[in-house]
Amino acid sequence: TLLAPPMLVAVAVVVLVCWKLTYKLVFGDPSGLSFTTIAIAGTALLLAVLGLIAMIVVALGVCFIALRRLEDIDRPHNTPVDLDALDKIIVHEDRAAQNHMTAISTMKVGTLRRLALRLSFYLISITARKVFRPGFLGTINTIHFARWVLLPGTNRLMFFSNYGGSWESYLEDFIAKAASGLTGVWSNTEGYPRTRWLFLDGARDGDRFKRWARRQQVPTLFWYSAYRELNTAAIRINSRIRRGIASATDNEARDWLSLFGSLPRLATERTTVQKTTSLLANIS
């Protein structure tokens, strides 16, 4: 991220170089230590930062315009799904409360596509860690794990994910709630539905996107599930119970465990009903 130490050092070096050039070329490199030179140094720093921001904005604008032209000439693939290949994938689905998906796509040619992919990865990582709740992608709460990997030395982009529910419901969630993120990444691969400005359209063409996704899938040879019969909601509840018991005092832990019928009631303890009944008997 931009806050990583190497990135901060690189940004600081670039700003320092630009400040020095501005200080020397624009203001004549004044010497000495006075209020005037300090004011000039501050002004040079401000101009350097504003200049860098302007150059970044212009560069991004040029890149997006060039990308938009590439999007205009892109042609989505309309080939049908290979039924034999699909059968080999479907036979391993819906055997538990969770499923696994492995997809391998081919990158479009060009440096601009690689840069767009990196930008999408960066924005997704920031929003996943800083914006969304842990374990959620926006309002999607069925994802156990998901990752894209650009295989080194190749033009192949791999995606693999563990998710709760069916493949159909998984993709419907993405189409309805996270289409922009998917499109930002996969629009840089061959055959993806038509996209605008990197993040628009694409996966919102639901039927075409599903056919494309099926064509990218390959059979998963092995994957691990720690809780085969539990969905993400049940796993979260169990996790909260575990944390509650682990951090509880003796009495609180006893109350937690009593909810599961796993702790016998002590002979010296009486319920409120028992105490009330005994009191009424004594009064009568």
N-term to C-term CA, the chain: 76
> Residue 100 has what pLDDT?
92
Q: Is 105 strand, coil or helix?
A: strand
Query: Strands, E, within the chain: which ranges?
Result: 98-106, 143-150, 156-164, 195-196, 200-201
> Residue 109 has what pLDDT?
94
Q: Report the distance separating Cα 114 and Cα 49, nearest Å.
A: 27
Q: Report the distance separating Cα 199 and Cα 187, nearest Å.
A: 8
> Residue 116 has what pLDDT?
95
What letter does residue 189 receive in the DSSP assignment? B
Q: Report the distance separating Cα 266 and Cα 278, nearest Å.
A: 18
> Residue 1 has what pLDDT?
55
The strands making up 143-150's β-sheet, listed across from edge to edge, are: 98-106, 156-164, 143-150
Of 47, 43, 52, nearest to 13 by C-alpha is 52
> Residue 126 has what pLDDT?
87
Beta carbons of 157 and 105 less than 8 angstroms apart: yes
Q: Report the distance separating Cα 137 and Cα 132, nearest Å.
A: 6
- Taking the chain (284 residues) in runs of 10, the rounded mean pLDDT of each run is 74 91 88 86 93 94 94 89 90 90 95 94 88 83 91 94 91 92 95 94 93 94 86 84 80 72 52 45 46
